[in-house]
């Protein structure tokens, strides 16, 4: 992502840019520091600045804990307009939702929705319609919801008189009445309903191949509420009503409805332990027998999985890849110590295990790092790994002394390496071993699985593999890869009760 300005530049007097943090159709956002030391976000407004800046100007003096504060509107010496605003270190909601394909824990969705509702209600109370409510514009910082991006917001009073000729908002969150040029505050209620739906289920109610198809669904198709928890059904069916007059009259009313429903229906939902310590029980009378109770297991705390940005993923990947080398070196030394080869062959024997294992681990880690949180493309991943495994096989063949000059003689060996690694990579879902939320930190099952597949492939390819010196090493390489990939991949224990509930729900 190339930004117009680089670190250290001062396009706006009084602020030094530190780094670019976001980019979109509206322009660019930078993290910057004022001369006095205040950390801010600077938004360089591009495109249709009139609409953008009109909304910003109306929001400059708004103050709410759930709103991203706007400090100022400035112009640089090129005539470009900049919005000086609060710097939010957290991640947008859409990134968090991507990591929760089955939706957020109910308690968390409720808490965050209430923050969103308070912020939008505050905007409405001040005559502002946000008009572009979507997860990408909602940020989470230290568990606090912050609604940002006022780029498209406009005063309610002018909404019906000055109909825009271009579309506003984002199509998945666009209320049906926008097609008729009605930009009342009900469109925010509708968008908030869609966001609540998405937080609870992990998907939007109306999706399609094109914007037109989605818009048509907004206009005509009733939302599928079969996946929604029963206590939320009345709230969502009212918020997502096609007719704006049938929706909640205000965001405050909708927030109250959510609070009320949750208060009644939360009995089945595990709650986070209270932050206020309960009063200590009175001490037992002296000499009385005190029944010994086993300590209660701690109650599960409902939290969203921590945010991992692309930058953090790259950092983790670098660390994991370095750790692979360390663990593989240890494994190879152990293997060589067991084998006790001749002194001349010591390094070669070690290298025959070390290099293929490092290559295989890296080949799995790199794509898997960016796969683990997505679902539904298992076949695509398998075939990608098939190709990657083939490349690893060719690399191993080359490292084992294969020569392209003697392809007629060594082609069979090369083909054997290629087939073995390609099929071994295809056979297992290797990316699961690197998943942050895998069931166990380390499991022997994948090692056994890798060994099993190695053996099966050895038997299937026994004729061509017989020309490779010590083909049993290939099985060892696969088993070591399965172990090391798990060891070096970060792991976070998923909240078990929620996972179980979701599994049951989606079974």
Partner 1 sequence: MRITNWLCLAVLCLVVGNLPPLAAGHDHRRPAAGPKKTPVQEEKTLIHEEFTGYGKSEFAARKDALNNACTWLKQYKYGELNWSPDADYLLEHKMVQFYEWEDKKFDEPMGVMKVVKMQLAITDSQDRDIHKQAQHQRMKERHKQAFLVLLGAMGLLSVVGGYLRLEEATKGYYTRLLRIAAISILVVLVAGLCVAG
Could you say whether residue 405 binds partner 1 (CB under 8 A)? yes
Measured distance CA(334)–CA(340) in Å, rounded: 10
Choices 76-84, 186-194, 259-267, 465-473 (CB under 8 A): range interacting with partner 1:
465-473
CB of 100 to partner 1, least distance (A): 24
Among the candidate windows 57-65, 93-101, 335-343, 392-400, which touches partner 1 by CB under 8 A?
Answer: 392-400
| Cβ-based nearer residue to partner 1, 63 or 311 | 311
Least separation in angstroms between residue 83's CB and partner 1 is 19
Q: Is 398 in the site for partner 1 (CB under 8 A)?
A: yes
Residue 91 sits in the site that holds partner 1 (CB under 8 A): no
Longest CA pairwise span in the chain (Å): 92
Piece of the chain touching partner 1 by CB under 8 A; list 126-134, 176-184, 402-410, 479-487: 402-410
**Residue 325 in the binding site for partner 1 (CB under 8 A):** yes
**Residue selected from 411, 439, 440, 445 as contacting partner 1 according to rule CB under 8 A:** 411
Q: Helix axis angle, 472-488 relative to 310-339, nearest 10°? A: 140
Q: Which residues pair with 72 in a beta bridge?
A: 84
Rounded CA-CA distance 442/435 in Å is 11
Q: Contact with partner 1 (CB under 8 A): which of 18, 64, 203, 238? A: 18
Three-state DSSP string of 262-287? HHHHHHHCCCCCCCCCCCCCCCCCCC
Between 321 and 499, CB nearer to partner 1: 321
Rounded to whole angstroms, how far apart are CA atoms 131 and 183?
A: 7
The one among 289, 408, 504, 506 contacting partner 1 by CB under 8 A:
408
Sole binder of partner 1 in the list 127, 212, 222, 319 (CB under 8 A): 319
- DSSP character string of 219-246: HHPPP--TTS-GGGHHHHHHHT-SSGGG
Secondary structure element (H or E) that encloses residue 155, with its range: strand 154-155
Element (H, E) at 454: helix 445-460
DSSP state letter for 166: S
By the rule CB under 8 A, 143 interacts with partner 1: no
SS (H, E, C) 324-355: HHHHHHHHHHHHHHHHCCCHHHHHHHHHHHHH
Contact between 318 and partner 1 by CB under 8 A: the answer reads yes
* Residue 114 CB partners (closer than 8 Å, separation 6+): 255, 258, 259
For 233, half-sphere exposure in the C-beta direction (CA atoms, 13 angstrom radius) is 7
Structure tokens at 281: 């029980």
Using the contact rule CB under 8 A, the part of the chain among 41-49, 107-115, 419-427, 498-506 near partner 1 is 419-427
Check binding of 352 to partner 1 (CB under 8 A): yes
Contact flag: residue 415 with partner 1 (CB under 8 A): yes
Positions annotated as catalytic residues are 132
In the block, tokens 């790259």 appear at 314
Q: Which ranges of 370-444 would DSSP assign to H, the alpha helix?
A: 378-399, 407-427
In the bound state with partner 1, the residue whose beta carbon lies nearer, of 53 and 412, is 412
Residue 40 or 97: the one with the smaller Cβ distance to partner 1 is: 40
The answer to whether residue 463 forms part of the interface with partner 1 (CB under 8 A) is yes
Q: Choose the binding region for partner 1 from 147-155, 176-184, 249-257, 350-358 (rule: CB under 8 A).
A: 350-358
Q: How many CA atoms lie within 13 A of 437 on its CB side?
A: 18
Q: How far is the CB of 221 from partner 1 (least distance, A)?
A: 32
Residues that bind partner 1 (CB under 8 A): 7-8, 18-19, 31, 33, 39, 311-312, 314-315, 318-319, 321-322, 325, 347-348, 351-352, 355, 358, 382, 398-403, 405-406, 408-413, 415-416, 419, 422-423, 426-427, 457, 460-461, 463-464, 466-467, 469
């Amino acid at each position: 992502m190339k930004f117009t300005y680089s670190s250290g530049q001062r396009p706006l007097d009084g602020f030094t840019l530190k780094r670019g943090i976001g980019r979109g159709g509206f322009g660019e956002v930078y993290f910057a520091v004022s001369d006095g030391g205040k950390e801010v976000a600077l938004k360089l407004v591009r495109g249709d600045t009139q609409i953008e800046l009109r909304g910003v100007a109306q929001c400059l003096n708004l103050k709410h804990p759930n709103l991203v504060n706007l400090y100022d509107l400035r112009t640089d010496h090129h005539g470009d307009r900049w919005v000086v605003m609060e710097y939010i270190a957290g991640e947008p909601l859409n990134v968090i939702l991507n990591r929760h394909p089955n939706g957020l824990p109910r308690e968390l969705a409720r808490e965050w929705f209430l923050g969103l509702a308070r912020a939008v209600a505050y905007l409405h109370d001040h005559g502002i319609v946000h008009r572009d409510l979507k997860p990408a514009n909602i940020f989470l910082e230290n568990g606090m919801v912050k609604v940002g991006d006022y780029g498209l917001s406009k005063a309610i009073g002018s909404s019906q008189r000055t109909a825009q000729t271009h579309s506003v908002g984002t199509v998945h969150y666009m209320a049906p009445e926008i097609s008729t040029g009605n930009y009342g505050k009900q469109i925010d209620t509708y968008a908030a309903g869609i966001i609540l739906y998405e937080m609870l289920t992990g998907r939007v109610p109306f999706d399609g191949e094109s914007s037109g198809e989605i818009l048509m669904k907004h206009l005509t198709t009733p939302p599928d509420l079969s996946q929604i928890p029963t206590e939320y059904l009345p709230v969502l069916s009212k918020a997502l009503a096609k007719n704006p007059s049938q929706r909640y009259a205000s965001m405050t009313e909708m927030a109250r409805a959510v609070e009320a429903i949750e208060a009644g229906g939360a009995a089945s939902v595990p709650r986070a332990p209270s932050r206020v310590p309960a009063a200590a029980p009175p001490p037992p009378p002296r000499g009385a027998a005190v029944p010994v109770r086993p300590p209660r297991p701690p109650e599960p705390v409902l939290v969203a999985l921590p945010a991992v940005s692309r930058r953090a993923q790259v950092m983790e990947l670098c660390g994991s890849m370095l750790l692979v080398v360390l663990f593989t070196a240890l494994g190879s030394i152990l293997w060589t110590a067991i084998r006790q080869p001749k002194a001349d062959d010591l390094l070669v024997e070690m290298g025959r295990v070390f290099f293929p294992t490092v290559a295989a681990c890296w080949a799995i880690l790199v794509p898997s790092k960016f796969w683990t949180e997505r679902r539904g493309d298992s076949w695509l991943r398998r075939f990608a790994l098939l190709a990657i495994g083939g490349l690893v096989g060719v690399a191993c063949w080359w490292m084992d002394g294969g020569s392209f000059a003697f392809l007629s003689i060594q082609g069979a060996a090369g083909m054997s390496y290629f087939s073995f690694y390609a099929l071994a990579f295809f056979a297992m879902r290797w990316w699961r071993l690197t998943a942050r939320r895998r069931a166990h930190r380390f499991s022997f099952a994948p090692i056994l699985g890798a060994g099993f597949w190695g053996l099966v492939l050895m038997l299937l390819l026994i004729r061509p593999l017989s020309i490779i010196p010590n083909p049993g090493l290939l099985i060892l390489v696969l088993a070591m890869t399965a172990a090391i990939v798990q060891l070096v991949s970060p792991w976070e224990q998923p909240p078990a009760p929620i996972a179980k509930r979701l599994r049951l729900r989606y079974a």
